[in-house]
Amino acid sequence: MIAVTLGLYLTILVTIGIASGRKGSGSAEDYFLAGRSLGSLVLFMALFGTNVTAFALLGLPGKAYHSGVGVFGFFGANAAVFGPLVFIIFGYPIWRFGKLHGFLTPTQMFSARWASAATGKVVLVLMLLYTIPYIVIGIMGGGIAIDKLTDGALDYSTATAVVAAATVFYTTLGGMRGTAWTNVFQASVFLIFLVVAAIGIALHHGGSTAIGERIASEKPLLLVENFPPGMWATAFLVGPVSVIAFPHMFLRILAARDSRAFDRTVSIYPIALLLLFIPVTLIGLWGAVLIPDLVGKASDGILPQLVATSLPEWLSAVGLAAILAAVMSSLDGQMLALSTLFTVDLLGDRGDPRRQGRITIVALALVAWLIALERPEAIFGISQFAFSGYTLIVPVLAAAFFWPGSSAAGVIVGSLAGHGLLAIDALLAFQGSLSLKALGVMPVLPCLIVEVAVMVGVSNFTGKPPEAARAAFSDPFGPPPWRLGGVRTP
């Protein structure tokens, strides 16, 4: 049953990729941004689908397994509140200036804003630095899920190869249009399954009340807030704030057809986030008593283990498809995003953009797969480092859209200071030495303070970009709509 379901799922993805690949003009804008044609439904599903990763379906239940109900507030509630706000503040200017000036990548946008190719290249390198580990955890997540749900019939190494190869195949065929439409299918699958799985697991074990009583009796600490106040208060920096700087989210915003599609996406997003975070937190929490004594990164497999042991075989098979849907709906966007950055920003006009993009996707997937085979760290830990890095890119967005007095030198030196401190902290933490966590807040906060302070200080003593460059980025929100629900022009 599992093999049949897996085959059907992959066949649907490939079919969508082939159909999408037959459309469009073949230009760089068409392949990498779907000709800026994504409407309300497709844009929402593409943004939501690509934002839900192995971290959400495997890392978060794994974290809830050890830390309890606080995981929902730490990530879910923060995301539902701050996520839409961040999209409004930064997302609309990204779409507006991208549409107005024809930008295909963040690199092009930031290079133009400060009339400095170096500024764009710094952002490019940072996005590559944090997205490659993110691709790795996606491949790891798919491998873990298949290994657990097939009871080892497809081992981790083989499973990761299947996930990487399948994602590469349909992504290279359809480009942005293909990944967006596969995200519609994938997001529908994993959202519906999560709700059904939570209900099914609860019923199999006597109901949620009975499981809750076991938790209260056996592991009561999981029912109280286990995150230090300072860490909890700064958690929004690692989740919802960071999302806007994901290159795969950035490019999907550029691909929006009009402002109406973007506005509708923002209004629906928090509801979808709650439908996601409630079941994944509950499943991880329940797993602590239903399958106890998992240590470290072994808890990343709690969702597929509960699915395999608590649900009928046919529903377990659907569960594998759902987990893969979450994993691959992010992987395809990430691979395509990095391919876009490499092809547009590094290779330029040197041939067929589709061919160059496809070659880059294959190369990136191969490197990420080889790293994933080593299973370097638990999914949660890798995700937290990557999210922190993306958060430190957000001040560049703020300076680009809302601070005319910022300079290229300020942005570059400030970014190097903030990201350099984050790298040092990560190295110290890996070695077991004292790190910024000792301050009682998310380590990204002091890094952010240093970055902004340096950016402001250097900008005040260095030359500003030409007036034409600053004028091109004035009025980030543009004219208001003429009527409620109207389409704002770039």
The number of angstroms, rounded, from the C-alpha of 69 to the middle of its chain's C-alpha atoms is 22
Domains and CATH numbers, the chain: 2-380 (1.20.1730.10)
Spatial separation of the C-alpha atoms in residues 284 and 71, rounded to whole Å: 10
Report the pLDDT value the prediction gives residue 393, as an integer from 0 to 100: 95
Residue 38, strand partner residues: 256
The CA dihedral of 161, 337, 449, 445, to the nearest 10 degrees, is -40
Q: What would the two tokens of residue 262 be?
A: 């973007």
Q: Residues for the chain: how many in total?
A: 490
Report the pLDDT value the prediction gives residue 407, as an integer from 0 to 100: 95
Spatial separation of the C-alpha atoms in residues 140 and 59, rounded to whole Å: 11
SS3 of residue 256 by DSSP: strand
118: phi then psi, degrees, rounded to nearest 5: -65, -40
- pLDDT greater than 90 at residue 31: no
Report the pLDDT value the prediction gives residue 114, as an integer from 0 to 100: 96
- pLDDT greater than 60 at residue 481: no
The number of angstroms, rounded, from the C-alpha of 66 to the middle of its chain's C-alpha atoms is 23
Give residue-wise pLDDT tens across range 323-341. Answer: 788 778 888 888 999 899 9
Report the pLDDT value the prediction gives residue 408, as an integer from 0 to 100: 95
Report the pLDDT value the prediction gives residue 376, as an integer from 0 to 100: 64
Give residue-wise pLDDT tens across range 35-76. Answer: 888 888 888 888 888 877 767 777 788 888 988 888 887 777
Give residue-wise pLDDT tens across range 232-254. Answer: 677 777 777 888 999 999 999 99
Beta-carbon contacts of 164 under 8 Å, excluding residues fewer than 6 positions away, are 139, 142, 331, 365, 366, 368, 369, 372
The number of angstroms, rounded, from the C-alpha of 250 to the middle of its chain's C-alpha atoms is 11
Higher confidence at residue 431 or residue 19? 19
- pLDDT greater than 80 at residue 484: no
- Find the angle CA(368)-CA(372)-CA(376) to the nearest 5 degrees: 120
Residue 350 pLDDT level (bands cut at 50, 70, 90): low
Q: Report the pLDDT averaged over residues 466-473.
A: 91
Report the pLDDT value the prediction gives residue 436, as an integer from 0 to 100: 79
pLDDT more than 90, % of the chain = 26
Give residue-wise pLDDT tens across range 97-131. Answer: 999 999 999 999 999 999 999 999 999 999 988 88
Report the pLDDT value the prediction gives residue 381, as an integer from 0 to 100: 66
Residue from 81, 69, 78, 76 nearest 274 by CA: 76
- pLDDT greater than 50 at residue 483: no
